[in-house]
Structure 1
Amino acid sequence: MALGFYALSLWRKVWSIQRQQRNATREQQQRLGEDLKILASSLLEGQLPLIEGAIRIKVLLDNFDIGLSQDSHCQVFHQLYEATAHVPTHADWKALDKTSRRQHEKNFSELELQHKAQARESARWLLDAIATWPSRA
């Protein structure tokens, strides 16, 4: 009988931990969804550079919902991410000589011209998709 109560006590702890993990996951998903909305809106309003926005959106999407990330509407974010993956960031960017920086900046401008309309369309689609996301899950 004592073993039965002990087993029940252990199971209650397991169930409590599982509930806490589900709640933490749900909260993380909500935060990621809100961050994606902010990024997509900022990209649409021109408050965020296209390349930076696409990279950030792609990374968050991969963590938010890989299925949504792989949707054809989001392909432009992956394309821009891959096209700029080789570019140094942070201190490495600052360490580049001016010629190298200018070459990267020229590439960014060309990518923006080539993909701006599609990225804006994808950002609009993403806002709608996120708004209905919980019903998709």
Structure 2
Amino acid sequence: MSDSVMYILLVAGILISAVLMVVIYRQVRSLRRKQEERLANQENLERIQKERYEYIESSLNILTDALMNSQIGVVEGAIRVKSLLDYYNPALNDEPAYAVFTEIHEQTEHIPIKEAWKKLEKPIRRKHELFMARLEIAHGEEVVKAAGQLHAHINKAKQ
């Protein structure tokens, strides 16, 4: 082989190596950027989940306090507590101390809410109100006791 052919091949090899190095560098940089974005998204998601958890915890704290101080109806409070427990810690729904929230929630699932409640005819609405009043009488003390236990549980968990 002549010297000029060898020099051409050598230059071509160097050029190919340089092009490949640039391609590899760009790939590595792109992968790093994607990894940093994933990490930032993960941190952002964790922050949002923490804020949501704290908000639910605060709402449960307020609700249980309102139940203990008779500032909210037993049935309404129990339904709201049960719904928040589903997001806060679903395992708490299975504990016997808090079973009353689930029980009231299940017994009142058939009752319309919000706009549907407003559209009910008065006799039907009165029938539901009577049913809820009976639930309050039957489970009022149990709900207040469970609210107190949950309130203590939440505040203990905060410390």
The two structures have a TM-score, normalised by structure 1, of 0.91
Quote the Cα distance in structure 2 between the aligned partners of 1:21 and 1:134: 21
Between stretches 87-96 and 11-20, larger displacement belongs to: 87-96
Q: Runs (4+) of structure 1 moved beyond 6 Å?
A: none
Q: Which secondary structure state, in structure 1, belongs to the residue aligned with residue 82 of structure 2? A: helix
Of residues 122, 128, 144, the one that matches 1:104 is: 128
**Which protein shows a greater Rg?**
2
Quote the Cα distance in structure 2 between the aligned partners of 1:87 and 1:133: 34
Matched letter for residue 132 of structure 2: F
Quote the Cα distance in structure 2 between the aligned partners of 1:7 and 1:98: 64
**1:35 paired to 2:35:** no
After superposition, residues 1-137 of structure 1 pair within 5 angstroms as 1-2=24-25, 3-133=27-157
Quote the Cα distance in structure 2 between the aligned partners of 1:22 and 1:120: 33
Q: CA shift at 1:92, angstroms?
A: 2.2
- Gap regions ≥5 residues in structure 2: 1-23
Quote the Cα distance in structure 2 between the aligned partners of 1:65 and 1:101: 33
Q: CA shift at 1:134, angstroms?
A: 5.6
Q: Which secondary structure state, in structure 1, belongs to the residue aligned with residue 116 of structure 2? A: helix
Q: Percent identity?
A: 27
Q: CA shift at 1:102, angstroms?
A: 1.8
Q: How many residues align?
A: 135
The two structures have a TM-score, normalised by structure 2, of 0.79
Provide the aligned C-alpha RMSD in A: 1.5
Q: Which secondary structure state, in structure 2, belongs to the residue aligned with residue 7 of structure 1? A: helix
Correspondence for 2:5: none
Correspondence for 2:17: none
Quote the Cα distance in structure 1 between the aligned partners of 2:95 and 2:156: 15
Quote the Cα distance in structure 1 between the aligned partners of 2:32 and 2:120: 62
Deviation string 1:96-129 (CA, Å, 9 cap, x unpaired) is 2222222111111111111011101100110111
